[in-house]
A and B are shown apart, each in its own frame.
Chain A
Amino acid sequence: DTGVSQNPRHKITKRGQNVTFRCDPISEHNRLYWYRQTLGQGPEFLTYFQNEAQLEKSRLLSDRFSAERPKGSFSTLEIQRTEQGDSAMYLCASSLVSGGFTEAFFGQGTRLTVV
Chain B
Amino acid sequence: GQNIDQPTEMTATEGAIVQINCTYQTSGFNGLFWYQQHAGEAPTFLSYNVLDGLEEKGRFSSFLSRSKGYSYLLLKELQMKDSASYLCAVRDTGTGFQKLVFGTGTRLLVSP
Contact A108–B42 (Cβ < 8 Å): yes
What string of 1s and 0s marks CB contacts (under 8 Å) between B31-64 and chain A?
1010100000111110010100000000000000
Contact A104–B100 (Cβ < 8 Å): yes
Bound: A107/B41 CA distance, A: 9
Identify the stretch in A13-21, A38-46, A64-72, A74-82 within 8 Å (CB) of chain B at 4 or more residues: A38-46
What string of 1s and 0s marks CB contacts (under 8 Å) between A36-70 and chain B?
00001111110010000001100000000000000
Contacts of B107 in A (CB 8 A): 40
- Cβ-defined partner of B45 (8 Å) among A35, A41, A105, A108: A105
Contact A56–B102 (Cβ < 8 Å): no
Contacts of A55 in B (CB 8 A): 97
B95 within 8 A of A: yes
Number of A residues near B (Cβ < 8 Å) is: 23
Known contacts being A56-B95, A101-B31, A108-B42, is A41 close to B104, with CB within 8 Å? yes
B101 within 8 A of A: yes
A1 within 8 A of B: no
Contact B45–A103 (Cβ < 8 Å): yes
A91 within 8 A of B: yes
Could you list 7 examples of A-B contacts with CB < 8 Å?
A: A40-B104, A41-B105, A56-B97, A93-B100, A101-B50, A103-B33, A103-B45
